[in-house]
């Protein structure tokens, strides 16, 4: 029970900064990449994984977002925990801004509890926001000295975000749940207000999943795994809830999802389809706003390539013996 005291402190600290108001860099939250949902997945089950994906979200004709994401994580015996590297590059169409993000995370060894295991993780991401190069080039060619430059202004470098995050992940035989809290700090490079180290909105990601039926101690005992999951993402200027039950077969993936963009009042219905080749898996998520209950017929899509390298239990003395807990 002593570990739950730490969780309560994380929740309490998170609630204290809900009132911070500013604009963050992008409302996109990739859902098919575990490392971007909760950094405590780093080196999960002593595995090595690589995720490469692209997410697109079109709210309306004036708002479009695109983000490329790349993550690599593995288990480190020397550090006695999971480590990961994160790279993302995105476009905020409405504001003519490009973002480049680099991050690192560390997840501690799981701590056994009475009914499961608990993991804590920390991560730090750095985000550099610049004016889109194409728009910046047009300003130099098309705009004369008396005309105003295109948004967000004349400066190429706009701001830098430092994004420290804390995460907790709990797994039992029946469920998995995790909470990630980010506390970004903003350094503004563009002219205007002096807001160095300005606090941007806290972002919280809640992850809840059913047990991975079909797996036992990392090995597949059935040809499929049924995984219902709920993901809630919150920040001051963007909140979304996603319900996603799917079936992961040895050769393919099939599922549906309901995604509610509360901020823009867009409620999407979509599907998941994927195919696997050994340790390689490609998944596509696509959906659109439901007419009548959504303000806009927003389109969203996410393509993700996943490569999983399972752990190898090897003993020089007894090569065929399994690892002891």
Pairing of strands 185-188, 198-199: antiparallel
Residue 146's φ and ψ, nearest 5 degrees, are -90, -10
* 223: three-class secondary structure by DSSP: coil
Half-sphere exposure of 24 (CA within 13 A, CB side): 23
Rounded CA-CA distance 27/96 in Å is 15
Confidence of residue 6 (pLDDT cuts 50, 70, 90): very low
Q: Is the pLDDT of residue 53 over 90?
A: yes
Terminus-to-terminus CA distance in the chain, angstroms?
22
What mean pLDDT value characterizes the chain? 80
* CA-wise closest residue to 253 among 191, 315, 303: 303
Confidence of residue 145 (pLDDT cuts 50, 70, 90): low
Tell which residue, 229, 261, 259, has the closest CA to residue 242: 259
Distance CA 159, CA 195 (A): 10
pLDDT bucket at 317, cuts 50 / 70 / 90: low
The torsion defined by the Cα of 80, 48, 202 and 59, in degrees rounded to 10, comes to 180
Q: Which helix (H) or strand (E) holds 165?
A: strand 157-172
Residue 71: what pLDDT?
Answer: 96
Nearest to 97 by CA among 127, 69, 130, 128: 130
User: Per the structure block, which two tokens stand in for 181?
Assistant: 């809290």
> In Å, how far from its chain's centre is CA 319?
38
Predicted local distance difference test score (pLDDT) of residue 16 = 38
pLDDT of residue 4: 41
How many angstroms separate the CA atoms of 253 and 284, rounded? Answer: 9
Helix (H, G, I), strand (E, B) or coil at 174: coil
- pLDDT, one tens digit per residue, over 200-238 is 678 899 999 987 554 455 455 566 778 899 999 998 778
Q: What token pair was written down for 279?
A: 């340790």
| Confidence band for 86, pLDDT divided at 50, 70 and 90 | very high
Closest CA to 261 of 310, 291, 294: 294
Q: How far apart are CA 24 and CA 129, in angstroms?
A: 11
pLDDT beyond 80 at 257: yes
Give the model's confidence band at 161: pLDDT under 50 very low, under 70 low, under 90 confident, else very high. confident
Nearest-CA neighbor of 215 among 111, 145, 143, 310? 310
Q: Which of 75-89, 189-203, 300-314 has the highest mean pLDDT?
A: 75-89
Choice between 132 and 159, residue whose per-residue pLDDT is larger: 159
């Amino acid at each position: 029970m002593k570990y739950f005291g730490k969780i309560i402190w994380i929740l309490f600290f998170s609630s204290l900064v809900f009132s911070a108001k500013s604009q963050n860099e992008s409302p996109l939250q990739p859902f098919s990449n575990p490392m971007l949902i909760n950094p405590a997945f780093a080196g999960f089950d002593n595995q090595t994984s690589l995720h490469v994906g692209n997410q697109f979200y079109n709210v309306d004709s004036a708002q479009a977002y695109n983000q490329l994401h790349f993550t690599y994580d593995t288990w480190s015996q020397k550090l006695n925990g999971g480590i990961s590297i994160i790279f993302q590059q995105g476009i905020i169409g409405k504001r003519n801004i490009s973002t480049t993000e680099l991050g690192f995370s560390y997840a501690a060894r799981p701590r056994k509890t009475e009914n499961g295991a608990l993991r804590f993780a920390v991560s730090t991401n750095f985000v550099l926001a610049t004016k889109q190069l194409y728009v910046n080039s047009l300003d130099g060619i098309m705009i004369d000295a008396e005309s105003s430059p295109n948004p967000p202004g004349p400066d190429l470098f706009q701001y830098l975000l430092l994004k420290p995050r804390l995460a907790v992940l709990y797994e039992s035989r029946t469920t998995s749940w995790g909470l990630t809290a980010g506390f970004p700090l903003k350094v503004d490079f563009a002219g205007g207000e002096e807001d160095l180290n300005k606090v941007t909105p806290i972002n919280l990601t809640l992850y809840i999943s059913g047990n991975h039926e079909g797996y036992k101690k990392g090995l597949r005992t059935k040809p499929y795994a049924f995984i219902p999951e709920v993901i809630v993402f919150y920040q001051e200027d963007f909140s979304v809830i996603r319900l996603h039950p799917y079936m992961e077969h040895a050769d393919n993936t099939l599922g549906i999802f309901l995604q509610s963009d509360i901020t823009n009042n867009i409620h999407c219905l979509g599907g998941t389809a994927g195919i696997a080749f050994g340790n390689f898996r490609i998944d596509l998520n696509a959906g659109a706003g439901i007419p009548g209950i959504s303000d806009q017929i927003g389109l969203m899509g996410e393509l993700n390539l996943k490569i999983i390298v399972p752990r190898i239990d090897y003993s020089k003395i007894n090569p065929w013996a399994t690892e002891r807990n």
